[in-house]
């Protein structure tokens, strides 16, 4: 099955700007993408990174570049072939087990919700579905499916639910992953601290 | 199996104080507790609400009051009998399916991580374990188990991971539950809005 992994090769993870420099955001995003790719068994599946413009790392899998918005890119894939899966590139807690759970879950449309209303992973098995990733997409995707008479199933996964957008998400990477993004954070001085008993992530002073 | 549900009957959910009045926090917390109790099949399991002081609602199950700190209460239970489970009272996304997954997961100690490093649900099958709920408890519980030669398993569940502490957590209740806490929020004017494209929860003006 084709698994699309949308990746912003240009200016990723802007909401981490207070914590990471542009170059660091680029490195950390690439590490998260590698964690996602590491979780996808490429001997049995067909991962493809889709990016808005070429980026200077070789992800080791098929990569396509499109200036089209994400919704158009994904909907073109759905129009051409189903089933197709879409897995976001900022899920460093993902493991092969979660990819398998996602693909084994029945339903015309399978949704893995992200914290705050996003759709972190998706399987589409019917061509009458289309995606709309803006706003509260997990709700919108349920509505779109319902309007077209399609069944939806939600996957109950913490590891798929944790997309990394904000500095407060970084603690999840250090707690629940030993992959490349976690390595990158540790190598760059990030650690868990508990000021006043509330756990967070801080960076060692240089 | 005994399932302990710690509940703060006195001044619950202080981090929601900017959004909810003390009386509303009390009502909303009781609704979340009821969602948790609704998810526990009481014909086959033995739920018990443990609270710091008596509260003015009848949860419909065994309730015990203790002035001891939570760690002492839970560790006393572990000393007297295992297996025992501990499920937090602020998990309104929980369903029977998650309780079953928790109890079916093998391991001397089974942990359901909460966002930010907490331990939202726990099964203890060996009396040499003890809990420590302060700080980054999911990491501390893994360390305690390791030091005592016990195996730990993490349950990968979004619905168990989402404890409601902050106003930003309320969107999860509206998106992923149709239980009593969700009803309470809707009845009290809360709805999902998208100012500037970032989904959040707002309250209708009176």
Look up residue B94 and give its two tokens: 């929980």
Other Cβ atoms within 10 Å of A96 Cβ, number: 11
Does any CB of chain B come closer than 8 Å to the CB of residue A98?
A: yes
ipTM: 0.95
Query: Is CATH 3.30.70.420 correct for A2-162?
Result: no
For the stretch B34-67, pLDDT in tens is 999 999 997 889 999 999 888 777 778 899 999 8
The pLDDT value recorded for residue B190 is 97
Distance set, CA B72 to CA B12, B52, B63, B76, B131 (Å): 20, 12, 17, 6, 9
Residue boundaries of the structural domains of chain A:
2-162
The pLDDT value recorded for residue B205 is 66
Please answer yes or no on whether A172 and B115 come within 8 Å at the CB atom. Answer: yes
Does any CB of chain A come closer than 8 Å to the CB of residue B174?
A: no
The pLDDT value recorded for residue A177 is 97
* Dihedral, B75, B76, B80, B83 alpha carbons, nearest 10: -30
| Of the candidates A131, A33, A120, the residue with the CA atom closest to the CA atom of residue A82 | A131
d(CA A19, CA A185) in angstroms, rounded, equals 11
Task: Say which range, A139-143, B9-13, B109-113, B171-175, has the weakest mean pLDDT.
Answer: B9-13
CATH number, domain B2-164, options 3.40.50.300, 3.90.550.10, 3.40.50.720, 3.30.470.30: 3.90.550.10
DSSP B176: H
Does any CB of chain B come closer than 8 Å to the CB of residue A138?
A: yes
Q: Assign A72 to helix, strand or coil.
A: helix
In angstroms, what separates the C-alpha of A105 from chain B's closest C-alpha?
A: 15
Nearest CA in chain A to B133: A197
Please answer yes or no on whether B192 and A136 come within 8 Å at the CB atom. Answer: yes
The pLDDT value recorded for residue A205 is 66
pLDDT per position in chain A (206 positions), as tens?
999 999 988 888 999 999 999 999 999 999 999 999 999 997 889 999 999 888 777 778 899 999 899 999 999 999 999 999 999 999 999 999 999 999 999 999 999 999 999 999 999 999 999 999 989 999 999 999 999 999 999 999 999 999 999 999 999 999 999 999 999 999 999 999 998 778 999 998 64
Distance set, CA A117 to CA A4, A17, A140, A142, A163 (Å): 20, 22, 9, 12, 11
In angstroms, what separates the C-alpha of A159 from chain B's closest C-alpha?
A: 6
| Of the candidates B33, B99, B96, the residue with the CA atom closest to the CA atom of residue B63 | B33
A184 φ, ψ (degrees, to nearest 5)? -60, -45
The pLDDT value recorded for residue B166 is 93
Average pLDDT of chain B is 94
Q: H-type helices in chain B, by residue range?
A: 22-39, 70-80, 96-104, 137-147, 158-161, 170-176, 180-187
Please answer yes or no on whether B172 and A97 come within 8 Å at the CB atom. Answer: no
For the stretch B132-160, pLDDT in tens is 998 999 999 999 999 999 999 999 999 99
d(CA A201, CA A191) in angstroms, rounded, equals 5
Among candidates A98, A135, A192 on the partner chain, residue whose Cβ is nearest the Cβ of B136: A192
| Of the candidates A85, A63, A65, the residue with the CA atom closest to the CA atom of residue A74 | A85
Please answer yes or no on whether B97 and A168 come within 8 Å at the CB atom. Answer: no
């Amino acid at each position: 099955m084709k698994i699309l992994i949308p990746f912003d090769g240009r200016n990723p993870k802007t909401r981490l700007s207070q914590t990471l420099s542009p170059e660091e955001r680029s490195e950390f995003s690439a590490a998260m993408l590698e964690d996602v790719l590491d979780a996808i068994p490429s001997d049995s599946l067909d991962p493809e990174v889709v990016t808005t413009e070429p980026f200077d790392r070789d992800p080791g899998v098929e990569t396509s570049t499109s200036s089209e918005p994400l919704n158009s890119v994904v909907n073109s894939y759905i129009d051409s072939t189903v089933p197709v899966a879409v897995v976001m590139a900022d899920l460093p807690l993902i493991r092969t087990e979660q990819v398998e759970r996602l693909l084994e879950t029945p339903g015309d449309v399978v949704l893995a919700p992200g914290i705050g209303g996003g759709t972190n992973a998706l399987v589409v098995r019917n061509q009458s579905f289309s995606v709309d990733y803006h706003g509260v997409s997990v709700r919108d995707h349920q509505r779109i499916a319902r309007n077209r008479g399609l069944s939806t199933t939600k996957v109950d996964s913490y590891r798929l639910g944790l997309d990394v957008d904000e500095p407060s998400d970084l603690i999840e990477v250090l707690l629940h992953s030993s992959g490349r993004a976690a390595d990158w954070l540790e190598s760059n001085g990030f650690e868990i601290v508990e000021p006043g008993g509330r756990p967070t992530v801080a960076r060692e002073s240089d």
